[in-house]
Amino acid sequence: MDPARIHHVPTITTIDGKLDELSRQVAYLTERQRKNEELIAEMTPILKLVMATATTRLDALEKKGYFAFGRELARVGERVVEGFGPGDVHELGDAVVSILETVRAMTRPEVLAIATEATAAIQNVDQTEPIGLIGMVRATRDDNVQKGMAVLMDLMRHVGRAASLISERRSRSPMEQKRQRLAKVTGAKKSAKRAMGVERTTAVTAKAPAPREAPRAPGPPTCAAPPSRSTVVAATIDGVDFAADGSLVDPSAWTRELALKIAEAEGVALEAAQWKVIDFARADFAEHGASPNIRRITQATGLATKDLYALFPKAPARTAARIAGLPKPAGCI
């Protein structure tokens, strides 16, 4: 027998089986199609109804203005996107908590009540009569106006406080810090120049943004900021370093022998009375870090101004400070 034929016998059986399966599937599909048709037939009226209802509803919505509102909202959204960059949105994200807090505070019933009342005045704007200065004064007699003014004042106070907080924060911004550093650098230049004997300030320092004046501290009377202490050596005499104003660079290097030498150069003969002033000046400097001016010396030592001018002709406080190895006293009195 042909081996191929033998092989084909089971094949026919297989094909038969497959055909059976196919016919089952066809039957299933036919059934499903029939069910679908039934479903469609059943659904059509319902769907028609739904569509009709939806159309009426949508029409009603359109009439109510929802879509116009939506379109406008979309337009607003577009504008927001155009006007704000990603950085702004990032900042907004940071600020979202405070925004929500603000909204919560503003939507409290009592705040809303005040706002409603206030808008009433604006709505009645056509009935409002213009008033002048006298009318304004007269209006302040009204209790409600008084109360309103108090509220406005308080509001202004809060706004002002917030504004100064913001400007304070701004002043700490990088640009400001840069400027302050610049001012520091130019300030250093200024003191170096003074030490070299250049008394007059140059245009460079005038151009630099002046550092904000420190609040005046209570204490010894001064009517001018004390000049910054120059620590640059201008001259060295007998191994002692002097600054340009004639004071010692290191006040602790002072000795009585040195005082005698300085006094001789100043044309002052040092006697008990002068020593009293010099000793006081040194003690006062050690205590307060500033050379005493004439008024301070007279008040502390009991000497009269006249006596001081007799002891140290010309400029008593300055001469005494120089002999005591101290910087020039500040102040005008």
Catalytic amino acids?
A: 332
For residue 221, state whether it binds other proteins (rule: CB under 8 A).
yes
298 token code pair = 């007279």
For residue 218, state whether it binds other proteins (rule: CB under 8 A).
yes
For residue 243, state whether it binds other proteins (rule: CB under 8 A).
no
For residue 305, state whether it binds other proteins (rule: CB under 8 A).
yes
For residue 304, state whether it binds other proteins (rule: CB under 8 A).
yes
Q: Which of 193, 246, 280, 324: binder of other proteins (CB under 8 A)?
A: 246
Nearer to other proteins, 243 or 278 (CB): 243
Q: Which of 294, 320, 321, 323: binder of other proteins (CB under 8 A)?
A: 294
Alpha helices in the chain (DSSP H): 3-64, 66-83, 86-106, 109-123, 133-139, 143-171, 174-195, 203-207, 256-266, 272-288, 294-301, 305-311, 316-323
Paired with 237 in beta bridges are 240
For residue 198, state whether it binds other proteins (rule: CB under 8 A).
no
What is the rounded CA–CA span in Å between residue 244 and residue 241? 10
Nearer to other proteins, 294 or 326 (CB): 294
Amino acid at 195: A
Q: Which of 186, 230, 274, 293: binder of other proteins (CB under 8 A)?
A: 293
| Residue pointed to by tokens 């030592």 | 301
What is the sign of the dihedral through the CA atoms of 56, 61, 64 and 65?
negative
Q: Which of 285, 319, 320, 321: binder of other proteins (CB under 8 A)?
A: 319
Q: Which stretch binds other proteins (CB under 8 A): 21-29, 87-95, 197-205, 299-307?
A: 299-307
What is the rounded CA–CA span in Å between residue 329 and residue 297? 11
For residue 333, state whether it binds other proteins (rule: CB under 8 A).
yes
Residue 236 — φ and ψ, nearest 5°?
-125, 115
What is the rounded CA–CA span in Å between residue 100 and residue 233? 62
Q: Which of 193, 285, 318, 326: binder of other proteins (CB under 8 A)?
A: 318
Give the count of residues interacting with other proteins (CB under 8 A): 23
Amino acid at 33: Q
- Residues in the site for other proteins, rule: CB under 8 A? 218, 220-221, 223, 246, 265-266, 293-295, 304-306, 309, 314-319, 322, 332-333
